[in-house]
Structure 1
């Protein structure tokens, strides 16, 4: 259960923490990342093998979702289940961000950090489905199916988690996420708003400032960044993931 929105959770699962510590101890004994199956350590998803460039499968895609916020400046990581050079580079950036051995190989140390970062519903520790959907709990009525909208929101949350970490692990506040057509109309959203797809989030400035958020978001997998200087966006930063890039925040030099 999360007790804050985008901030520091006040309650953590003792079971998950104990399991993660056990995994770290086993890693210390092994000494090197090997091919042995990592121990089960999370109620959401557990990887059963070490992954590296050349691997493929649904477990690779699960990894890609969680490192989707580390694709480098202006890039977006494909969630295709194929562990290619871009995935290796994203894993390496994730490892560097958290002080792990940065070899681009996903093994026990990397999984241990991911287990510590995610809750049992697979959302990252500092964001929740409720935070990304204040429209309706069914995720229906948008431009895509409810399951797709919810899946898109999950990827967005992992990108926001990466952005939050890059900004010093200080809280990021989401004002708006998924919208059905009726919710979108009620707030005066554009007819083709990315909020209808579940992959958009409007952020308040919080302690960071709009331009700080907008500039940093360029490194964390967002194809759409709209902020101060773009019409009707002086009071928030809009981040989304359409198929092509569109960045506009002229006040911030974007």
Structure 2
């Protein structure tokens, strides 16, 4: 029978937990600031790289504009901050893991570590999918539906807000297999129950796609379909899992 770590046999006082949490938050913030310091010099280049799918599909003679005095400085600065957060995600999750790990049993740790690594990979995969697949299709679609007599001149700040929202939406959406496996592993639901609810979950995926993406059918569909497929993938992997029963939970 698995036993908890010796360090958890004696409960830490609340103040000690808070001090440890503060230290791990500071390490996460420090990692983000170091990445930001390394990227800030390339802020304009980073913005051009992220907006490349949009610029590539601008109508002939059209270009992006800035409608604010501070936007040419603040918009790349904002992008650099957000990308620093995204790139520091492995450090942040590692600090979170180090904080909660002492309370886990060995059998829980054996599953938690692969799930932690998989969640990071899936988050970045979602962002790459968004950049390579969704952006080109979406930014090719928008100019094609412009009413006659309207000039298409995207604003750099509004465009960035949309792109960051989509990056985050697809990063989170690609975590569906992890969420599915955790729900089954913790006993909150079963594979059979999820299969019975499949039609509702598919509809829910399209509703989420509608809420998290711009009001166009392309980005909504490109978010909903991967969510559905990843849900099915989560069920497949969950077939090897058994609902978790913590040692000592049934009796003293």
Instruction: State TM-score, norm by structure 2.
Output: 0.29
Structure of greater Rg: 2
Of structures 1 and 2, the one scoring higher in RCO (CA 8 A, sep 6+) is 2
**Higher strand proportion:** 1
Compute the TM-score of the two structures, normalised by the length of structure 1. 0.29
